[in-house]
């Protein structure tokens, strides 16, 4: 049951179906985390009628991950969150190159849910190599 409808309800990500109820839904903080997963994995221009939605992290595939590049990536992520997920405020955002040879970058995000004033965090693994998130 959704005790806090003001946080929103949407389809689960990835989309799952239930024989009895149809499309499974997620609510509250789970919906926000799934929304962030979608935001981070969407390249701007992929969405019809929302051409600016997304976070273009693939542009750094062949970049050397120095402090300048990390700062630019953090800025792109913060802008994407500000434009694509208005329910939260970023409190802390950090990047970790988990495995440079395998192309794995971890996005550590701490945020505040604006309507409830509750803090939450997530770690999003971003894979620069195609097909590694299967």
Q: Which parts of the chain have pLDDT scores under 70?
A: 1-9, 11, 13, 27, 129-134
Asked if residue 134 is part of any domain, the answer here is no
Asked if residue 132 is part of any domain, the answer here is no
Q: What is the pLDDT of residues 20-56, one digit of tens each?
A: 878 777 767 888 998 999 999 999 999 889 889 999 8
Number of DSSP helices (H) and strands (E) in the chain, helices first: 2, 7
Range of the domain at 103: 5-127
The CATH number of residue 67's host domain is: 3.10.450.40
Asked if residue 133 is part of any domain, the answer here is no
Sheet with 118-127, side-by-side order of all strands: 88-99, 104-113, 118-127
pTM of the complete model beyond 0.75: yes
Looking at the 3D structure of the chain, how many domains does it have? 1
């Amino acid at each position: 049951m959704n005790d806090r409808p003001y946080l929103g309800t949407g389809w689960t990500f990835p989309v799952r179906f239930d024989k009895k109820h149809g499309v499974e839904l997620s609510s509250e903080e789970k919906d926000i985390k799934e929304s962030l997963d979608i935001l981070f994995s969407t390249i701007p221009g992929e969405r019809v009628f929302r051409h600016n939605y997304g976070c273009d992290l693939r542009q750094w595939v062949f970049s050397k991950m120095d402090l300048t590049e990390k700062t630019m990536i953090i800025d792109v992520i913060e802008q994407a969150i500000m434009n694509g997920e208005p329910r939260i405020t970023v409190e802390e955002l950090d990047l970790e190159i988990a495995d440079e040879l395998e192309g794995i970058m971890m996005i550590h995000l701490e945020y505040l849910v604006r309507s409830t004033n509750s803090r939450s965090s997530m770690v999003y693994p971003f894979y620069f190599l195609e097909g590694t998130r299967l």
